[in-house]
Amino acid sequence: MQYVDGFVLPVPKKNLAAYKAMAKKACRVWLDHGALDYRECVAEDVKPGKITSFPQSVKLKAGETVVFSWITYKSRKHRDRVMEKVMKDPRLADMMDPKTLPFDGKRMFFGGFDTIVTA
């Protein structure tokens, strides 16, 4: 079974074009280093919930939207090898400064997941 890194983050709508450009660059880097799949998705039908929801999870503010993304690998071991190379890639240097990110990285959350069902 495959391994997936998942991310949820708030992006100001005015920064979506900058975020998309950054995501395209990141996609190329991850795929160049061996990731199997890279997806970035912007909220289209995501409403605040009564107890929990995507908007609540990132403390969504007015003028922001939610981005949900994931990267797929062969295994956790494969992910660790890819990430080691990605983190050393100079193409990502400008993305590592929290002051220049087109989103609030403090409200992003992420994690690694083992796949249990696939089709």
Name the phi and psi angles at 55, rounded to 5: -60, -40
Q: Tell me, which fold does domain 3-89 have in CATH?
A: Alpha-Beta Plaits (3.30.70)
Buried b (16+ CB within 10 A) or exposed e, 2-36: bbbbeebbbbbeebbeebeebbeebbebbeebebb
Asked if 98 contacts 2 with a C-beta cutoff of 8 angstroms, the reply is no
Most confident of 42-46, 48-52, 95-99: 42-46
* Domain range list for the chain: 3-89
pLDDT of residue 50: 87
**Average pLDDT, stretch 35-63?**
95
What's the pTM value of the predicted model, to 2 decimals? 0.93
Once rounded to an integer, what is the mean pLDDT over residues 25-54?
Answer: 96
Taking residues 93-104, what's their average pLDDT?
85
Question: What is the structure's pLDDT at 58?
Answer: 95
pLDDT of residue 3: 98
